[in-house]
Amino acid sequence: MGSLNIENVKKAFGPVEVLKGINLEVNDGEFVVFVGPSGCGKSTLLRVIAGLEDSTSGRVVIDGADVSATPPAKRGIAMVFQTYALYPHLTVKNNMGLGLKQAGTPAAEIERRIGIASSMLSLEPYLERRPAELSGGQRQRVAIGRAVVREPKLFLFDEPLSNLDAALRVNTRLEIAQLHRRLKATMIYVTHDQVEAMTLADKIVVLNAGKIEQIGGPMELYNSPANEFVAGFIGSPKMNFVDGARLGETAKTIGVRPEHLTVDPKSGSWKGTVVHAEHLGADTNLYLDCEKAGLITVRIFGVYDAEPGATLYATPDPAKTYRFGADGKVLK
Protein backbone atom coordinates (compact mmCIF):
# COMPACT_ATOMS: atom_id res chain seq x y z
CA MET A 1 0.00 0.00 0.00
CA GLY A 2 2.04 2.93 -1.17
CA SER A 3 3.19 3.09 -4.74
CA LEU A 4 3.97 6.33 -6.47
CA ASN A 5 4.03 7.29 -10.11
CA ILE A 6 5.33 10.56 -11.38
CA GLU A 7 4.44 11.22 -14.98
CA ASN A 8 6.24 13.93 -16.92
CA VAL A 9 6.14 16.43 -14.07
CA LYS A 10 7.36 19.90 -14.96
CA LYS A 11 7.66 22.88 -12.67
CA ALA A 12 8.56 26.43 -13.57
CA PHE A 13 8.84 29.49 -11.37
CA GLY A 14 8.15 32.23 -13.88
CA PRO A 15 10.65 31.77 -16.69
CA VAL A 16 12.91 29.49 -14.61
CA GLU A 17 12.29 25.82 -15.27
CA VAL A 18 13.18 23.89 -12.12
CA LEU A 19 11.86 20.45 -13.11
CA LYS A 20 12.17 19.58 -16.79
CA GLY A 21 9.93 16.57 -17.15
CA ILE A 22 10.39 13.96 -14.43
CA ASN A 23 9.19 10.39 -14.87
CA LEU A 24 9.56 8.04 -11.93
CA GLU A 25 8.04 4.88 -10.60
CA VAL A 26 8.30 3.94 -6.92
CA ASN A 27 7.12 0.51 -5.83
CA ASP A 28 5.38 -0.32 -2.60
CA GLY A 29 7.79 -0.53 0.35
CA GLU A 30 10.75 0.93 -1.46
CA PHE A 31 13.21 3.37 0.07
CA VAL A 32 13.98 5.87 -2.66
CA VAL A 33 16.55 8.62 -2.23
CA PHE A 34 16.65 11.75 -4.38
CA VAL A 35 20.18 13.01 -4.46
CA GLY A 36 21.84 15.84 -6.30
CA PRO A 37 23.70 19.11 -5.84
CA SER A 38 21.86 22.10 -4.36
CA GLY A 39 19.48 23.71 -6.82
CA CYS A 40 18.96 20.51 -8.81
CA GLY A 41 15.23 20.46 -8.03
CA LYS A 42 15.13 17.51 -5.62
CA SER A 43 13.34 19.43 -2.86
CA THR A 44 10.93 20.96 -5.35
CA LEU A 45 10.09 17.48 -6.63
CA LEU A 46 9.41 16.33 -3.07
CA ARG A 47 7.17 19.35 -2.52
CA VAL A 48 5.26 18.56 -5.68
CA ILE A 49 4.72 15.00 -4.44
CA ALA A 50 3.57 16.38 -1.08
CA GLY A 51 1.24 18.86 -2.74
CA LEU A 52 2.94 21.88 -1.20
CA GLU A 53 3.76 23.08 -4.72
CA ASP A 54 1.59 22.63 -7.78
CA SER A 55 3.34 21.19 -10.77
CA THR A 56 3.14 23.23 -13.96
CA SER A 57 2.24 20.09 -15.89
CA GLY A 58 2.29 16.33 -15.42
CA ARG A 59 0.61 13.94 -12.97
CA VAL A 60 1.36 12.63 -9.51
CA VAL A 61 -0.28 9.27 -8.84
CA ILE A 62 -0.28 7.74 -5.37
CA ASP A 63 -1.62 4.18 -5.10
CA GLY A 64 -3.25 4.43 -8.48
CA ALA A 65 -5.15 7.63 -7.69
CA ASP A 66 -4.26 10.88 -9.42
CA VAL A 67 -3.62 13.32 -6.57
CA SER A 68 -2.40 16.24 -8.69
CA ALA A 69 -5.29 18.40 -7.42
CA THR A 70 -5.61 16.93 -3.92
CA PRO A 71 -4.57 19.07 -0.92
CA PRO A 72 -1.54 17.77 1.05
CA ALA A 73 -3.57 16.56 4.05
CA LYS A 74 -5.71 14.29 1.85
CA ARG A 75 -2.87 12.63 -0.02
CA GLY A 76 -2.07 10.06 2.63
CA ILE A 77 1.47 11.32 3.10
CA ALA A 78 3.59 12.45 6.03
CA MET A 79 6.62 14.64 5.83
CA VAL A 80 9.70 15.20 7.99
CA PHE A 81 11.40 18.54 7.51
CA GLN A 82 15.00 19.66 7.77
CA THR A 83 14.16 22.24 10.43
CA TYR A 84 11.93 19.76 12.35
CA ALA A 85 9.01 22.20 12.06
CA LEU A 86 7.42 21.19 15.36
CA TYR A 87 4.54 23.28 16.66
CA PRO A 88 6.18 25.38 19.38
CA HIS A 89 3.04 25.79 21.50
CA LEU A 90 2.14 22.10 21.68
CA THR A 91 3.60 19.28 23.76
CA VAL A 92 5.34 16.38 22.07
CA LYS A 93 2.20 14.31 22.41
CA ASN A 94 -0.05 16.94 20.86
CA ASN A 95 2.51 17.61 18.14
CA MET A 96 2.25 13.97 17.14
CA GLY A 97 -1.52 13.81 17.48
CA LEU A 98 -2.54 17.03 15.75
CA GLY A 99 -2.80 15.62 12.24
CA LEU A 100 -5.00 12.74 13.40
CA LYS A 101 -7.13 15.07 15.46
CA GLN A 102 -7.69 17.27 12.41
CA ALA A 103 -8.72 14.19 10.46
CA GLY A 104 -11.28 13.30 13.15
CA THR A 105 -9.63 10.14 14.43
CA PRO A 106 -11.11 8.91 17.75
CA ALA A 107 -9.07 9.90 20.82
CA ALA A 108 -8.42 6.30 21.89
CA GLU A 109 -6.97 5.46 18.48
CA ILE A 110 -4.74 8.57 18.55
CA GLU A 111 -3.55 7.55 22.02
CA ARG A 112 -2.76 4.04 20.82
CA ARG A 113 -0.78 5.17 17.80
CA ILE A 114 1.18 7.76 19.80
CA GLY A 115 2.01 4.95 22.26
CA ILE A 116 3.39 2.74 19.50
CA ALA A 117 5.33 5.51 17.79
CA SER A 118 6.83 6.90 20.98
CA SER A 119 8.02 3.50 22.16
CA MET A 120 9.48 2.83 18.72
CA LEU A 121 11.46 6.09 18.89
CA SER A 122 12.03 5.98 22.69
CA LEU A 123 10.16 9.23 23.21
CA GLU A 124 8.01 8.15 26.19
CA PRO A 125 9.83 10.29 28.80
CA TYR A 126 9.30 13.44 26.75
CA LEU A 127 5.63 13.22 25.82
CA GLU A 128 4.58 16.12 28.05
CA ARG A 129 7.46 18.42 27.10
CA ARG A 130 7.41 21.23 24.61
CA PRO A 131 9.80 21.31 21.62
CA ALA A 132 11.87 24.10 23.23
CA GLU A 133 12.82 21.71 26.04
CA LEU A 134 14.24 19.06 23.70
CA SER A 135 17.64 18.63 22.06
CA GLY A 136 18.07 18.64 18.29
CA GLY A 137 18.12 14.86 17.97
CA GLN A 138 15.04 14.46 20.17
CA ARG A 139 13.19 17.09 18.14
CA GLN A 140 13.93 15.26 14.93
CA ARG A 141 12.70 12.01 16.51
CA VAL A 142 9.47 13.77 17.46
CA ALA A 143 9.14 14.98 13.88
CA ILE A 144 9.62 11.40 12.67
CA GLY A 145 7.11 10.22 15.28
CA ARG A 146 4.61 12.77 14.00
CA ALA A 147 4.97 11.17 10.58
CA VAL A 148 4.74 7.61 11.93
CA VAL A 149 1.46 8.09 13.83
CA ARG A 150 -0.31 9.14 10.66
CA GLU A 151 0.40 5.69 9.15
CA PRO A 152 0.81 7.25 5.73
CA LYS A 153 1.05 5.55 2.36
CA LEU A 154 4.17 7.56 1.72
CA PHE A 155 6.84 8.99 4.02
CA LEU A 156 8.62 12.06 2.70
CA PHE A 157 11.92 13.15 4.25
CA ASP A 158 13.37 16.52 3.31
CA GLU A 159 17.05 16.48 4.33
CA PRO A 160 16.13 15.37 7.87
CA LEU A 161 19.70 14.97 9.06
CA SER A 162 21.20 18.24 7.81
CA ASN A 163 20.67 20.13 11.05
CA LEU A 164 22.14 17.44 13.29
CA ASP A 165 25.78 17.11 14.30
CA ALA A 166 27.92 14.37 12.82
CA ALA A 167 27.55 11.74 15.57
CA LEU A 168 23.81 12.22 15.87
CA ARG A 169 23.48 12.07 12.11
CA VAL A 170 24.86 8.53 12.02
CA ASN A 171 22.55 7.41 14.85
CA THR A 172 19.45 8.96 13.32
CA ARG A 173 20.35 7.49 9.94
CA LEU A 174 20.43 4.08 11.55
CA GLU A 175 17.07 4.72 13.22
CA ILE A 176 15.49 5.71 9.92
CA ALA A 177 16.87 2.54 8.29
CA GLN A 178 15.44 0.40 11.11
CA LEU A 179 12.14 2.26 10.93
CA HIS A 180 11.90 1.42 7.25
CA ARG A 181 12.57 -2.22 7.93
CA ARG A 182 9.95 -2.38 10.69
CA LEU A 183 7.19 -0.44 8.94
CA LYS A 184 7.92 -1.74 5.44
CA ALA A 185 6.50 1.58 4.24
CA THR A 186 7.33 3.46 1.10
CA MET A 187 9.78 6.23 1.85
CA ILE A 188 11.14 9.05 -0.24
CA TYR A 189 14.17 10.80 1.09
CA VAL A 190 15.88 13.92 -0.20
CA THR A 191 19.51 14.63 0.54
CA HIS A 192 22.56 16.23 -0.99
CA ASP A 193 24.79 13.83 0.93
CA GLN A 194 25.74 10.84 -1.19
CA VAL A 195 26.77 8.86 1.91
CA GLU A 196 23.19 9.04 3.22
CA ALA A 197 21.94 8.06 -0.21
CA MET A 198 24.25 5.05 -0.48
CA THR A 199 23.58 3.76 3.04
CA LEU A 200 19.79 4.12 3.11
CA ALA A 201 18.47 3.62 -0.38
CA ASP A 202 16.97 0.67 -2.18
CA LYS A 203 16.92 2.91 -5.21
CA ILE A 204 18.76 6.18 -5.80
CA VAL A 205 17.52 8.87 -8.15
CA VAL A 206 20.34 11.19 -9.18
CA LEU A 207 19.03 14.59 -10.21
CA ASN A 208 20.89 17.39 -11.91
CA ALA A 209 19.54 20.69 -13.23
CA GLY A 210 15.92 19.53 -13.10
CA LYS A 211 16.46 16.23 -14.90
CA ILE A 212 16.97 12.65 -13.77
CA GLU A 213 20.50 11.57 -14.64
CA GLN A 214 20.19 7.95 -13.55
CA ILE A 215 18.00 5.68 -11.43
CA GLY A 216 19.40 2.56 -9.83
CA GLY A 217 20.52 0.72 -6.73
CA PRO A 218 23.51 2.09 -4.81
CA MET A 219 25.94 -0.51 -6.18
CA GLU A 220 24.57 -0.18 -9.67
CA LEU A 221 25.29 3.56 -9.63
CA TYR A 222 28.72 2.99 -8.16
CA ASN A 223 29.73 0.22 -10.54
CA SER A 224 28.10 1.33 -13.75
CA PRO A 225 27.34 5.03 -13.77
CA ALA A 226 25.53 6.15 -16.91
CA ASN A 227 27.46 9.36 -17.33
CA GLU A 228 30.20 11.60 -16.05
CA PHE A 229 27.89 13.48 -13.64
CA VAL A 230 26.71 10.36 -11.82
CA ALA A 231 30.24 8.95 -11.77
CA GLY A 232 31.51 12.13 -10.15
CA PHE A 233 28.63 12.48 -7.72
CA ILE A 234 28.55 8.95 -6.32
CA GLY A 235 31.62 7.85 -4.41
CA SER A 236 33.85 9.64 -1.97
CA PRO A 237 36.50 10.91 -2.54
CA LYS A 238 35.27 11.92 -5.96
CA MET A 239 36.25 10.04 -9.13
CA ASN A 240 39.34 11.33 -10.96
CA PHE A 241 38.65 12.64 -14.43
CA VAL A 242 41.55 12.82 -16.86
CA ASP A 243 41.54 14.41 -20.29
CA GLY A 244 41.62 11.49 -22.76
CA ALA A 245 43.73 13.35 -25.31
CA ARG A 246 46.58 13.76 -22.82
CA LEU A 247 46.69 9.98 -22.31
CA GLY A 248 46.49 9.29 -26.04
CA GLU A 249 43.01 7.76 -25.68
CA THR A 250 40.11 8.10 -28.08
CA ALA A 251 37.58 8.84 -25.32
CA LYS A 252 37.01 12.48 -24.33
CA THR A 253 37.47 11.77 -20.60
CA ILE A 254 38.84 8.87 -18.63
CA GLY A 255 37.50 8.29 -15.11
CA VAL A 256 39.13 6.29 -12.33
CA ARG A 257 37.92 6.12 -8.73
CA PRO A 258 40.61 6.95 -6.14
CA GLU A 259 40.27 3.46 -4.66
CA HIS A 260 40.96 1.83 -8.03
CA LEU A 261 44.45 3.28 -8.32
CA THR A 262 47.56 1.66 -6.91
CA VAL A 263 50.83 3.43 -6.20
CA ASP A 264 54.39 2.28 -6.40
CA PRO A 265 57.59 4.26 -5.77
CA LYS A 266 59.46 2.68 -8.70
CA SER A 267 57.27 2.09 -11.71
CA GLY A 268 53.69 2.57 -12.99
CA SER A 269 51.56 4.31 -15.62
CA TRP A 270 51.43 7.87 -14.31
CA LYS A 271 54.46 9.49 -12.72
CA GLY A 272 53.66 12.21 -10.19
CA THR A 273 54.70 14.05 -7.04
CA VAL A 274 52.85 13.89 -3.75
CA VAL A 275 51.13 17.23 -3.04
CA HIS A 276 49.41 16.30 0.18
CA ALA A 277 48.62 13.20 2.22
CA GLU A 278 45.56 12.77 4.44
CA HIS A 279 45.96 10.04 7.06
CA LEU A 280 42.57 8.79 8.22
CA GLY A 281 43.79 5.67 9.97
CA ALA A 282 41.72 3.12 8.11
CA ASP A 283 42.82 4.60 4.83
CA THR A 284 45.09 7.25 3.36
CA ASN A 285 44.21 9.79 0.68
CA LEU A 286 47.12 10.92 -1.46
CA TYR A 287 46.95 13.90 -3.78
CA LEU A 288 49.35 13.42 -6.68
CA ASP A 289 50.29 15.95 -9.31
CA CYS A 290 50.95 13.73 -12.32
CA GLU A 291 52.77 14.71 -15.50
CA LYS A 292 50.20 13.11 -17.78
CA ALA A 293 47.03 12.98 -15.71
CA GLY A 294 47.16 16.25 -13.75
CA LEU A 295 46.03 16.43 -10.10
CA ILE A 296 44.51 13.13 -8.99
CA THR A 297 43.39 11.56 -5.72
CA VAL A 298 44.48 8.08 -4.70
CA ARG A 299 42.84 6.21 -1.86
CA ILE A 300 44.99 3.56 -0.23
CA PHE A 301 43.56 1.19 2.36
CA GLY A 302 45.56 1.16 5.56
CA VAL A 303 48.50 3.36 6.45
CA TYR A 304 50.87 4.53 3.73
CA ASP A 305 53.76 6.83 4.47
CA ALA A 306 54.35 9.40 1.78
CA GLU A 307 56.02 12.77 2.29
CA PRO A 308 54.89 15.73 0.16
CA GLY A 309 57.39 16.15 -2.66
CA ALA A 310 58.13 12.42 -3.02
CA THR A 311 57.81 10.84 -6.46
CA LEU A 312 55.24 8.06 -6.92
CA TYR A 313 53.81 6.14 -9.84
CA ALA A 314 50.04 5.60 -9.96
CA THR A 315 48.48 2.79 -11.95
CA PRO A 316 44.74 2.56 -12.69
CA ASP A 317 42.94 -0.79 -12.57
CA PRO A 318 42.06 -1.31 -16.25
CA ALA A 319 38.91 -3.28 -15.40
CA LYS A 320 37.57 -0.39 -13.34
CA THR A 321 38.38 2.49 -15.64
CA TYR A 322 35.50 4.40 -17.18
CA ARG A 323 35.54 6.02 -20.59
CA PHE A 324 33.26 8.96 -21.32
CA GLY A 325 32.34 10.40 -24.70
CA ALA A 326 32.10 14.08 -25.60
CA ASP A 327 28.45 14.14 -24.45
CA GLY A 328 29.45 12.85 -20.99
CA LYS A 329 27.88 9.41 -21.51
CA VAL A 330 29.76 6.22 -20.78
CA LEU A 331 31.29 4.54 -23.82
CA LYS A 332 30.73 0.80 -23.81
Partner 1 sequence: MSTATRSVPRTIGAHAILLTYTVIALFPVILVIMNSFKSRAGIFGAPLTPPTPKTFDLIGYTTVIGQGDFIHYFQNSLVVTVASLFLVLLFGAMAAFALSEYRFRGNSLMGLYLALGIMIPIRLGTVAILQLMVASGLVNTLTALILVYTAQGLPLAVFILSEFMKQVSDDLKNAGRIDGLSEYTIFFRLVLPLVRPSMATVAVFTMIPIWNDLWFPLILAPSEETKTVTLGAQLFLGQFVTNWNAILAALSLAIMPVLILYVIFSRQLIRGITSGAVK
Contact positions with partner 1 (CB under 8 A) in 160-219: 163
Among 83, 178, 223, 311, binds partner 1 (CB under 8 A): 83
Output 132 or 167, the one with its CB closest to partner 1: 132
Output 117 or 204, the one with its CB closest to partner 1: 117
Per-residue 3-state assignment (H helix, E strand, C coil) for the chain: CCCEEEEEEEEEECCEEEEEEEEEEECCCCEEEEECCCCCCHHHHHHHHHCCCCCCEEEEEECCEECCCCCHHHCCEEEECCCCCCCCCCCHHHHHHHHHHHCCCCHHHHHHHHHHHHHHCCCHHHCCCCHHHCCHHHHHHHHHHHHHHCCCCEEEEECCCCCCCHHHHHHHHHHHHHHHHHHCCEEEEEECCHHHHHHHCCEEEEEECCEEEEEECHHHHHHCCCEHHHHHHCCCCCCEEEEHHHHCCCCCEEEECHHHEEEECCCCCEEEEEEEEEECCCEEEEEEEECCCEEEEEEEECCCCCCCCCEEEEEECHHHEEEECCCCEECC
Shortest CB 134 distance to partner 1, Å? 8
131 lines the binding site for partner 1 (CB under 8 A)? yes
267 lines the binding site for partner 1 (CB under 8 A)? no
Shortest CB 192 distance to partner 1, Å? 17
54 lines the binding site for partner 1 (CB under 8 A)? no
Among 72, 232, 294, 325, binds partner 1 (CB under 8 A): 72
Among 45, 60, 67, 79, binds partner 1 (CB under 8 A): 79
99 lines the binding site for partner 1 (CB under 8 A)? yes
Among 12, 61, 85, 226, binds partner 1 (CB under 8 A): 85
Among 52, 120, 127, 226, binds partner 1 (CB under 8 A): 52
Shortest CB 99 distance to partner 1, Å? 4
Shortest CB 87 distance to partner 1, Å? 7
Among 6, 9, 40, 86, binds partner 1 (CB under 8 A): 86
Residues forming contacts to partner 1 in the complex (CB under 8 A) are 47, 50-52, 71-74, 77-79, 81-89, 98-99, 102-103, 131-133, 146, 158, 163
